A and B are shown apart, each in its own frame.
Chain A
Amino acid sequence: MEINNNQLLRFTTAGSVDDGKSTLIGRLLFDSKSIFEDQLESVTNTSAKKGHDGVDLALFTDGLKDEREQGITIDVAYRYFTTPKRKFIIADTPGHIQYTRNMVTGASTANAALILIDARHGVIEQTKRHSFIASLLNIPHLIVCINKMDLVDFSEERYNEIIGQFEEFSSKLLVKDVRFVPMSALLGDNVVNRSQNMGWYGGGTLLSILETLHISSDINKIDARFPVQTVLRPQSNDHRDYRGYAGRVASGIYRKGDEIAVLPSGFTSRIKSINAGENEIDEAFAPMSIAITLEDDIDVSRGDMIVKRNNQPEGEQEFDVMLCWLNNDAAKPRAKYTVMHASNEQRAMIKDIIYKIDINTYNRNTEDKALSMNDIARVRIRTTHRLMLDSYRDNRNTGSIILIDENTNETVAAGMII
């Protein structure tokens, strides 16, 4: 399949087994012809063994042994399909309450989130939870899939009622772009193919929406941020004096000749050259992986950030984040953690838990100071040295952190800078 200039779109799916999420993904893969013969054969056999009529589409997204035995999904699974218009990466996350952590993980790099609603039940607490997480993670596009329309007689009235329910609570959320699609994943209505049963619906199918979402503006192209990953110093005669700063542009655009500052030191210089692999180029933008050389011989190393002289992030040692706790062991007050931010690492301490959020009601609780698995709270963090911070709303790549437990080395929390 030749795909010219077609972009990569990442989306995440939230919903539980009961909403028909696995069936929806199976339907997307099946109707977009992304299922192979041997996969189909294996699923057909399994369906027959289980006594299902026809092919159980949900089986395409079945993963590990434990899950197949228990009939649940654990953790984030990634799936792929390509159409002539785009390549898609699905971060498929389980929808049970104890899996907030997985949804946050899957959502962190998504351009779009699919929120599944069972048309019979309408908006339920779980819908609010998923929408809240999508909003917290600043996912640019939200697609509300009102599924199982076949079980409510494809009723337009019911569909509008659910949109009403959704809009009532979602006005408090910060999502820029929300779409609604009435569908039946089981029968295939409005997933890839247009529904014959819902002539009253004038919008696009789920796939056509995914293929046409405007995602070029999802990455910040205004504020130039270049976290240095590593320094390239070849030991060869041809490149004796080469010092290249290698990394991936987190946001913005860099051009040869730009006046830059290196943070935290504050030294200034100009961009002498930009390389993408063996090719020298005149400009680079997010999310390109490049190597930059500077006119002046200044000290730059991993963890530093190269920015434009006239547009610099805040250097902070103490800052507030919305933190999602991801670990079985609860947060320890005043315990030391390692914080990772862009390419930088520091030791950090949780100074204060300001309030916890009830993700069903959005109420703030200032009394409860315990942070355990799946909790989301506003906390104050203090680090040993300054970090070059942007707010997460402005910049997902330089506005996000993770905390690592120094004893277990596990990633225990994800934070979004306020």
Chain B
Amino acid sequence: MSKYYLNYLDELESEAIFILREVWAQFENPVILFSGGKDSILVTHLAKKAFYPSKIPFPLMHVDTGHNFPETIEFRDDLIESLGAKLIVGSVQESIDNGRVAEEKGKNATRNALQITTLLDAIEANKVDCAIGGGRRDEEKARAKERFFSHRNDFGEWDPKNQRPELWNLLNGKHYEGEHFRAFPISNWTEMDVWNYIKRENISIPSLYFAHEREVVFRNNSWIPVSEYLKLEKGEKIEKKKIRFRTLGDITITGGIESDADTLDKIADEVSTMRKTERGDRSDDKRSETAMEDRKKQGYF
């Protein structure tokens, strides 16, 4: 502290806290989009710091695809209770039952795209004017141009050519009724930064991130967990492997990697020697070269 400069993790933390407070100051009804993954857990942890000793002054919102890992839901409920926060759940199953969306058909059917409608409906129903997400610019090339305050039109769409320039620390969240913003406090963090910080702060995360024995099937170059939604293809067989998950999406599309990393230290070491980007195991991004960009334009994160 005597040197009067911050190390990179403290600087990233300070920037994220600044953005969270700016959201609270500029918007009426913000929420944290909470998926139960490490990035949204991190954002929640930072929000706790940003408003201490007050509680986090806005709700967490979870878009529940109905295809979650059971561990994720359990973790979510425990966290909400310990924070004394409010939880809003948008249910994809309800959107299907109400005829707002139709279940995908075919071999690689997922509920990934269906989330968009549920999310936008939940945003509208709760009059949310800013949804805070754990998106990071290093995750995927379409996110490299994302702003801290990302403007969405009244259809929830993102237009890469119509994003407001962000200069210095001046964030412009002005908008008309019906439009909303997404805010990304950890834009400048990389996967490595996230793990180093989780380790430093000793933040609890779902057990799925740690290596454990699990029944899996090898598909699209990664280990897909066995669940009631998994239909075995010809030639596929169920195996028991020690794996861990680098990201947590739906149980139907999240691939695990073989690993022995069962502590935060070991995970951080493994990540630093990893030669693959973390979304490389998400089959939803692989559908086409611009999959993420196309989904963002429709209102995905």
A contact residues around B14 at 8 Å (CB): 248, 287-289
B242, chain A: closest CB distance, angstroms: 22
A contact residues around B188 at 8 Å (CB): 78, 80, 89
Interface residues of B (CB under 8 A from A): 1, 3-8, 10-15, 17-18, 21-22, 24-25, 48-55, 137-138, 141-142, 144-145, 160-161, 163-170, 172, 174-176, 187-188, 190, 192-193, 196, 272, 274-277, 280, 289-290, 293
Given A75-B145, A409-B175: A105 in contact with B167 (beta carbons within 8 A): yes
21 cross-chain CB contacts under 8 A: A6-B8, A8-B11, A8-B12, A39-B277, A63-B144, A64-B142, A75-B145, A78-B145, A80-B190, A105-B167, A216-B5, A232-B54, A235-B54, A236-B54, A244-B53, A253-B4, A278-B52, A291-B52, A397-B169, A402-B172, A409-B174
Closest to B188 in A: A89
Is A302 an interface residue, CB under 8 A from the partner? yes
A63 and B21 contact, CB distance less than 8 A: no
A contact residues around B163 at 8 Å (CB): 75
List 5 additional contacts besides A3-B7, A400-B168, A409-B175; criterion CB under 8 Å.
Answer: A39-B277, A64-B141, A89-B188, A216-B3, A411-B166
Cβ-defined partner of B137 (8 Å) among A66, A80, A221, A414: A80
A109 and B272 contact, CB distance less than 8 A: no
Is A229 an interface residue, CB under 8 A from the partner? yes
Within 8 A of B (CB), among A397-418: 397, 400-402, 404, 409-411, 414
Is A263 an interface residue, CB under 8 A from the partner? no
A234 and B54 contact, CB distance less than 8 A: yes
Cβ-defined partner of B145 (8 Å) among A77, A104, A239, A402: A77
A230 and B165 contact, CB distance less than 8 A: no
**What string of 1s and 0s marks CB contacts (under 8 Å) between A212-253 and chain B?**
000110000100000001101111101100101011101001
**Roughly how many angstroms separate A377 CA and B17 CA in the complex, as a whole number?**
34
**Roughly how many angstroms separate A104 CA and B52 CA in the complex, as a whole number?**
35
A64 and B293 contact, CB distance less than 8 A: yes
Given A36-B274, A38-B276, A409-B174: A63 in contact with B141 (beta carbons within 8 A): yes
**Roughly how many angstroms separate A86 CA and B289 CA in the complex, as a whole number?**
31
A contact residues around B18 at 8 Å (CB): 229, 247-248, 289
B contact residues around A247 at 8 Å (CB): 18, 21
A38 and B54 contact, CB distance less than 8 A: no
A63 and B168 contact, CB distance less than 8 A: no
**Roughly how many angstroms separate A396 CA and B167 CA in the complex, as a whole number?**
11
B273, chain A: closest CB distance, angstroms: 9
Within 8 A of B (CB), among A253-311: 253, 275-278, 281, 283, 285, 287-289, 291, 302
Q: Which 9 A-B pairs have the closest CB atoms?
A: A277-B49, A289-B17, A409-B174, A8-B8, A108-B167, A38-B280, A234-B54, A87-B8, A77-B144
**Roughly how many angstroms separate A236 CA and B164 CA in the complex, as a whole number?**
39
Is A353 an interface residue, CB under 8 A from the partner? no
**Roughly how many angstroms separate A340 CA and B290 CA in the complex, as a whole number?**
36
Closest to A216 in B: B5
Closest to A396 in B: B168
A65 and B293 contact, CB distance less than 8 A: yes
A400 and B17 contact, CB distance less than 8 A: no
B contact residues around A363 at 8 Å (CB): none
**Roughly how many angstroms separate A235 CA and B192 CA in the complex, as a whole number?**
37
B25 and A343 contact, CB distance less than 8 A: yes
B53 and A234 contact, CB distance less than 8 A: yes
B contact residues around A236 at 8 Å (CB): 53-55
A402, chain B: closest CB distance, angstroms: 5
Given A288-B6, A289-B14, A397-B168: A230 in contact with B145 (beta carbons within 8 A): no
**What string of 1s and 0s marks CB contacts (under 8 Å) between A19-58 and chain B?**
0000000000000000011110010000000000000000
A397, chain B: closest CB distance, angstroms: 6
Closest to B176 in A: A409
B contact residues around A285 at 8 Å (CB): 4
A199, chain B: closest CB distance, angstroms: 34
**Roughly how many angstroms separate A129 CA and B145 CA in the complex, as a whole number?**
23
- Which residue among B174, B193, B274 has the maximum number of chain A CB atoms within 10 Å of its CB? B174
Is A102 an interface residue, CB under 8 A from the partner? yes
**Roughly how many angstroms separate A285 CA and B2 CA in the complex, as a whole number?**
10
**Roughly how many angstroms separate A403 CA and B144 CA in the complex, as a whole number?**
25
Closest to A229 in B: B21
Is A101 an interface residue, CB under 8 A from the partner? yes
Cβ-defined partner of A410 (8 Å) among B3, B5, B164, B272: B164
A contact residues around B290 at 8 Å (CB): 64-65
**What string of 1s and 0s marks CB contacts (under 8 Å) between A362-401 and chain B?**
0000000000000000000000000000000000110011
A contact residues around B165 at 8 Å (CB): 76, 101-102, 104-105, 326, 411, 414
Given A105-B165, A232-B51, A396-B168: A78 in contact with B4 (beta carbons within 8 A): no
Cβ-defined partner of B160 (8 Å) among A62, A75, A291: A75
Is A198 an interface residue, CB under 8 A from the partner? no
- Which residue among B6, B52, B170, B293 has the maximum number of chain A CB atoms within 10 Å of its CB? B170
A78 and B172 contact, CB distance less than 8 A: no
Is A5 an interface residue, CB under 8 A from the partner? yes
Is A179 an interface residue, CB under 8 A from the partner? no
Is A79 an interface residue, CB under 8 A from the partner? yes
A229 and B25 contact, CB distance less than 8 A: yes
Within 8 A of B (CB), among A67-113: 74-80, 82, 86-87, 89, 101-102, 104-105, 108-109
Closest to B13 in A: A289
**Roughly how many angstroms separate A190 CA and B174 CA in the complex, as a whole number?**
45
B275 and A232 contact, CB distance less than 8 A: no
A272, chain B: closest CB distance, angstroms: 14
A contact residues around B53 at 8 Å (CB): 232, 234, 236, 238-239, 242, 244, 278
A78 and B137 contact, CB distance less than 8 A: yes
B22 and A37 contact, CB distance less than 8 A: no
Is A160 an interface residue, CB under 8 A from the partner? no
B153, chain A: closest CB distance, angstroms: 12
Is A155 an interface residue, CB under 8 A from the partner? no
A292, chain B: closest CB distance, angstroms: 13
